[in-house]
Structure 1
Amino acid sequence: MAGDEAATSDAAAAETRALPPLTDHDFKIYNRMADRMEQFHNYFRQTWTLLWTAATTSRRPQNLTQKQFLHEAISFARHLSAHHGIEEAHVFPLLATRMPEFDARRGSLVKQHEQIHKGLEEFESYVKECHAGRDEFEMGVLKEKMEGWGGVLWEHLDDEVRMLGAERMRAVWSKEEMMRMPM
């Protein structure tokens, strides 16, 4: 299965090398999904960095009360879960018809979602309990709740945008198909 994905990616890379350069206009068409995904992912990177910096320095940002900080953490978890849900329901099935990385059963990007959500669920549960006053909030515990899945999250954010990049997309989709893609 992993070999199939590598073979498909290698074939796409070979096709890309044989294609003529894209015009600026065509590049924008083929890169549209990557650009849009990068916008979403930058929010996740920014918020993760805010939370992680606080957790590793044991100091929350001065402009946020503890309640506001916990609200940021809850919003981050909810937005990431919703983002992945939308991708898996509406975007990945279409892409998976030609790009195995997006396949619901074997795709590397879907497997990353699964790894992320194992940690994300514990993280979200903890910050919700603290926000509701049912648990004592500690930066050290927050750090523990983030450590196990942070690496795969950052890898995923980069991988997904790279897979949606213009050169990769034009190897498997026509310009007309790209213009009909969601996002």
Structure 2
Amino acid sequence: MHAPPGKSHDLLFHMDKLETVAHQQGYGNELYTEVLFMEFMILLNRAILDNELELSSVSCDRKIQQILAYINSHLTDDLSIDTLAETAYLSKFYMMRKFKADTGFSIHQYINSKRLLLAKSLLATTDIPITELCYQCGFTDYSAFSREFKKSFRTTPTAFRNSST
């Protein structure tokens, strides 16, 4: 599903709120999370019924699928634009335009998002020191990792790990 060009939807706000509340603890938090989830589902269904969101079939160019598969299997490696273009036998400029058109993300955004999700998962399930975890997830600079993590998840890696345990 996606919003038609030029339209934005408050579903993202509700999704963010649901994610934030789901990671908190406190009196009635579990019930509040369920209520927010139900509210989100109602808004989502209304948006679809009112044609505010469009359902789209996921179809991607075979070369873009190849790049996605390569990224996913080499997520912790150095993933330069040149390497990806060579892998798919494409011009790097064409590849970047085509990737954005097919996925809605720039290659850099996609790789960062995948690496941050990996880091978030490892923070919640392992005791690996955060600095080491940052490098294991493919980031080359801890301060950039920490800044991106906070921007994406609205908490620091340390605070997230402490709230997960």
Category of TM-score, reference length = shorter chain: under 0.3
Higher helix share: 1
TM-score normalised to structure 1 length: 0.26
